[in-house]
Each structure stands twice: as structure tokens, then as C-alpha cells.
Copies of this chain bind each other. A is one copy, B any other.
Amino acid sequence: MTDNDKKAIVLFSGGLDSTTCLAMAQAQGFAVHALSFSYGQRHSIELDKARRCAAQLGVDRHLVVDIDMRAIGGSALTADMAVPKDRPLDDEIPITYVPARNTIFLSYALAWAEVLGAFDIFIGVNAVDYSGYPDCRPEFIAAYQNMANLATKAATSGDGSYRIHAPLLHLTKAQIISAGLELGVDYAATHSCYDPDAAGRACGRCDSCRLRLKGFAAAGLTDPAAYVEDN
């Protein structure tokens, strides 16, 4: 908790990337308002971990918004489809892609920012070690920011300009991990797996696990998170 009135909204899943992004926003002096979504994701254990992780990081507020992505479907993360395992990471956009997910998440962040009088929104997207999702690329972030500044009363009435911060955009996974460790992030508390077991242990084989494990290996470190089996 801070007594700073420079507020920022941080999109926060409790995963490796968004937790690092949150720590970066705090390091920049922002009073962090973390925003998570309950969107019918299969890995709902993510939300429990996100709640604990946000508390551990001492955010100013953590809001979990219920949104209904299952009604729309179209993704292995929200519909009844198998999460792919061991697929080549340089292949095409996988079925774990959730249509317009970051667009929807940023739109709620924008709404909350406007209510709070905040103009800074952080999102932990990354266009280096990622799954090729179009809404993780710099041109998307720039176009979103431009739209946000035309969409809202706060921006169009001259109170300020929205800034979408994506501090991980050009970092490798290993660089993200190193930066987070310097800021004191406890990666054992973070959760990245698309398909954890009932005890919340990561599968080690989905895209998200493999990108994470590859990152720790490249940084010369061992991932402290719990996995179903040793990887």
C-alpha cells in the first residue's frame, strides 16, 4: 500500500509476466490498482493465486471482474477444447488464443481508470517469447492507446492522456525474470500454466509452461513453481 496518488491500473493474472509488470509499476512509484478477470477460464486456480500474489505485493486495491467469455467461445481457454501440449512454439497462432481478449481486458482497465481519475494502464504483453497472439504486438498497443484517448470523457475534456505501458514488450523471458528478481518478485507465488492439475501444479507442457521454463533455463535459473513432474 502506498500513499502515492499517482494511480495506475495493472492488468494482472498472477502469472510471471503480469506480476513482473506490476512490480515494475510499483518501482515507478505508482499506487497500483490491480485488475483481474474471472472469464470462464479453465485454469480458475489462476484467480486464487492472483489474489494471494496481489496481497503479497501490497497493491492498493485488487478488483476481480466477472466477465462472460464462454458465451462467445472460440478458444481452448474458454470452451471445451483440449489445451495443446508440446507443440512447436514457432508454429501458427494456437487455439489457446482468446478472440479479442486483450482488447476486452484493456477496455475494462480504461473504464476503471476513468472512474479512478488514473491515466496509466500497465499490461504485461510480450512480443519476443510469446505465442504469436496479435494483441501482444506493439502496433496493437499503440492503436489501442490512440483509440482510448478518443473514447473517454476524461481524455477528450482535457484532464489528461491515457498511456498504455507495456514494459515487457521487447524483453526476452529471461530478461523479464532477471528484472523481476531484482525487484524482489517471488516467482514461486506466480502461476502461468494453461492446464494445471487439481492441486494447482503446472503441467510443464503447454505453451505457457514451456515459454516460462525456457526463460528460467536461459537465465541460468530453476523455476521455483510447482510442476506435476520434474521438467
Interfacial residues, chain A to chain B (CB-CB below 8 A): 63, 65-69, 71-74, 93, 97-104, 107-108, 110-112, 114-115, 133-135, 137, 139-140, 143-144, 146-148, 150-157
Contact = CB atoms under 8 A, between A and B. Distances in A.
Given A104-B104, A153-B97, A156-B134, A115 B147 contact: no
A150 B143 contact: yes
B114 A110 contact: no
A111 B115 contact: no
Given A107-B107, A108-B72, A134 B147 contact: no
SS of A interface (majority): helix
Contacts of A98: 111
Given A134-B153, A147-B146, A99 B115 contact: yes
A90 to B, nearest CB: 16
Contacts of A93: 153, 157
